[in-house]
């Protein structure tokens, strides 16, 4: 026992004597390991290249708006439009920072604590961890794949640090705001502003900006806000939290915070988008691509904003008045039907007996005389079932619709119009618009302006030429005005019982309504022309009067104002669109 105690004592003494040496050795090893890690990190940092954004993040959609700037629709593979940071209000930028990364303006691009949490979750198999910085989110979403591996996380951190050191915070924030997903199919702040509130990003209010910032956290859940009470309540809580942070940081004033009200969201999910508005987008997309000298596919992917000439309120009113329908007609006309037909066509009623389903097609065109801007282009009720545009491309039998121009010498591009058996409603409307503009023909157009990222690429100007003498135009006007002794010139024409035309015009507006009918195709049996129902006359009159009043403002009891317009012929005035 004494010998064992002596050995233990000697061992303790030896350990005490060598402790310092062993600690120094361990420290050297640790420092060497740390130096190797730092060296490896430095080498990895210098070898790391900032990748180009994914092809899909470079894709954008093209948005179409009406003459008032109201959203009409879009074309493109991704609902995204890139805008400069200058078009995002500062308080919207600060709302996103308050919601996603409050240290964004001062951090190095990464959050070590968040990286450690995510790494541990990956190793341990736990739930995915959030908390990444805005820079990391941008790198993950736009530059890297979304896979959850340690190597990808390490690369994300290196790229984020390098991005933060080589790019300004504003550049990073701009990239983030243009690519982050907001739900409702919207990638980027511009599309989100339209999808949630129907406005451009530059027009977002403080409350709307804070709401969009709040959505980013769980976009697939919060996108239902406004239609799902539970989701809305949860988003309101987060919205309050974001606004409180903005007020605390000085991004908004205490008065702005006190006055904030949770904004109204557009209904979600949206309704059917394959209705007749697609006819308008077809026409405008074709024209816009031609004006830019690109293909329609390039246009759809280019992130353009196409401002059309259409009046969407009048177009929607036309759809309500003129929606295609299937009618059955049998037997004789009633006295009411005879009166309506006589009023619309000025013809003696005829007894016609037919049976079977009849599909009535209605085409409506509204043009600005002397300018050519197309306000209404109603080519059908349902694009999904009939993508063919009756107003722009349909050949409708003219009959007596062009009778006022018979014997007149029309110049190009109207030279052969009176010899055309079945013109398109758009072309027929253009000849009456020429008469309304004292003989000046204006090429119809549907695109007023094309912009991209705030820069104007194209702006329309009327393309006019003399197509009939002023005297001939006056003859047409005298004939049509005197016939009805009314403030508007009206011509009603028809091709037997197969078609019915009605054109009304003054110096401000030309409106053409064309009706024709067919027995719908069944199986292998093709569609066949059919006589119009006896109600066609009253229907044509109803559509014409309703659309005219919607555009010209006569529904409010006043005539279109006479504003001087030096771009129009002498005596011509601007059309007043009283739909707003």
For residue 345, pLDDT over 50 is answered with: no
Element (H, E) at 503: strand 499-505
Residue whose entry in the numeric block shows the structure tokens 């899909």: 56
d(CA 175, CA 194): 19
Distance CA 63, CA 74 (A): 4
Is pLDDT larger for residue 391 or for residue 342? 391
In 370-431 the beta strands, taken as DSSP E runs, fall at 374-378
- Tokens describing residue 42: 């430095």
Residue recorded with tokens 């027009």 = 203
Point out the least confidently predicted range of 231-235, 335-339, 415-419, 482-486. 335-339
Helix spans in 167-273 (H): 169-179, 189-197, 206-215, 219-222, 229-249, 254-259
Q: In whole angstroms, give the CA distance from residue 139 to residue 146.
A: 10
Long-range contacts of 409-413 (CB under 8 A, 24+ apart): 409/468, 409/469, 409/472, 410/467, 410/468, 411/441, 411/465, 411/466, 411/467, 411/468, 412/465, 412/467, 413/441, 413/443, 413/467
Residue 116 has what pLDDT? Answer: 64
Alpha carbons 444 and 368: distance in angstroms, whole number: 9
**Higher pLDDT residue, 52 or 238?**
238
Give the relative orientation of helices 536-552 and 312-322 as an angle to the nearest 10 degrees: 160
Q: How confident is the model at residue 29 (pLDDT cuts 50, 70, 90)?
A: low
Please give the structure tokens belonging to residue 286. Answer: 């074709």
Compute the average pLDDT of residues 411-429: 95
User: What pLDDT is attached to residue 555?
Assistant: 37
Question: What are the respective helix, strand and coil percentages of the chain, to the nearest 5?
Answer: 45, 15, 40
Q: Is 277 or 499 the better-scoring residue by pLDDT?
A: 499
pLDDT higher than threshold 80 for residue 263:
yes
> How many of the other CB atoms lie within 10 Å of CB of 172?
21
Cis, peptide link before residue 575, omega less than 30° from 0 = no
What's the pLDDT score for residue 77? 83
Query: What's the whole-number average pLDDT of the chain?
Result: 81
């Amino acid at each position: 026992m004494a010998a064992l105690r002596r050995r233990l004592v000697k061992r303790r003494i030896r350990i005490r004597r060598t402790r310092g040496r062993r600690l120094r050795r361990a420290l050297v090893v640790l420092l060497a390991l740390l130096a190797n890690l730092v060296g490896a990190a430095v080498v990895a940092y210098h070898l790391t290249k900032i990748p180009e954004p994914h092809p899909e993040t470079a894709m954008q959609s093209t948005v179409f708006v009406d003459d008032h700037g109201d959203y009409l629709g879009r074309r493109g593979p991704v609902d995204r439009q890139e805008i400069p940071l200058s078009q995002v209000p500062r308080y919207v930028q600060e709302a996103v920072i308050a919601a996603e990364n409050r240290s964004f303006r001062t951090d190095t691009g990464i959050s070590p604590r968040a990286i450690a949490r995510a790494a541990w979750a990956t190793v341990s198999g736990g739930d995915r961890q959030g908390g990444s910085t805005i820079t990391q989110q941008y790198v993950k979403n736009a530059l890297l794949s979304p896979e959850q591996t340690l190597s990808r996380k390490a690369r994300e951190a290196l790229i984020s640090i390098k991005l933060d050191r080589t790019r300004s915070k504003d550049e990073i924030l701009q990239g983030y705001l243009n690519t982050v997903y907001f739900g409702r199919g919207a990638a980027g702040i511009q599309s989100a502003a339209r999808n949630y509130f129907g406005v451009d990003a530059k027009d977002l209010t403080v409350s709307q900006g804070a709401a969009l910032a709040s959505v980013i956290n769980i976009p697939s859940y919060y996108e239902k806000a406004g239609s799902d009470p539970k989701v809305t309540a949860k988003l309101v809580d987060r919205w309050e939290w974001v606004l409180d942070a903005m007020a605390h940081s000085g991004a908004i004033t205490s008065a702005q915070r006190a006055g904030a009200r949770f904004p109204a969201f557009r209904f979600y999910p949206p309704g059917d988008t394959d209705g007749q508005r697609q006819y308008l987008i077809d026409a405008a997309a074709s024209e816009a691509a031609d004006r830019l000298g690109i293909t329609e596919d390039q246009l759809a992917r280019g992130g353009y904003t196409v401002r059309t000439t259409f009046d969407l309120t009048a177009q929607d009113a036309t759809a309500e008045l003129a929606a295609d329908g299937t009618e059955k007609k049998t037997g004789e006309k009633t006295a009411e039907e005879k009166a309506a037909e006589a009023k619309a066509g000025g013809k003696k009623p005829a007894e016609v007996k037919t049976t079977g389903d009849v599909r009535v097609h209605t085409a409506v065109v509204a043009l600005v005389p002397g300018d050519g801007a197309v306000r209404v282009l109603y080519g059908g009720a349902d694009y999904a079932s009939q993508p063919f545009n009756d107003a722009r491309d349909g050949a409708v039998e003219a009959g007596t619709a062009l009778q006022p121009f018979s014997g007149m010498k029309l110049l190009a591009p109207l030279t052969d119009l009176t010899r055309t058996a079945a013109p398109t409603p758009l072309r027929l409307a253009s000849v009456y618009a020429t008469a309304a503009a004292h003989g000046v023909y204006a090429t119809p157009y549907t695109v007023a302006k094309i912009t991209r990222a705030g820069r104007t690429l194209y702006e329309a100007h009327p393309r006019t030429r003399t197509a009939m003498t002023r005297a001939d135009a006056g003859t047409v006007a005298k004939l049509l005005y005197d016939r009805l002794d009314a403030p508007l010139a009206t011509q009603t024409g028809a091709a037997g019982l197969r078609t019915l035309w009605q054109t009304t015009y003054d110096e401000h507006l030309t409106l053409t309504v064309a009706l024709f009918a067919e027995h719908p195709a069944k199986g292998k049996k093709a569609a066949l022309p059919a006589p119009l129902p006896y109600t066609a006359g009253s229907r044509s009159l109803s559509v014409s009067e309703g659309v005219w009043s919607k555009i010209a403002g006569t529904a409010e009891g006043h005539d279109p104002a006479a504003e001087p317009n030096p771009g129009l012929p002498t005596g011509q005035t601007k059309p007043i669109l009283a739909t707003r």
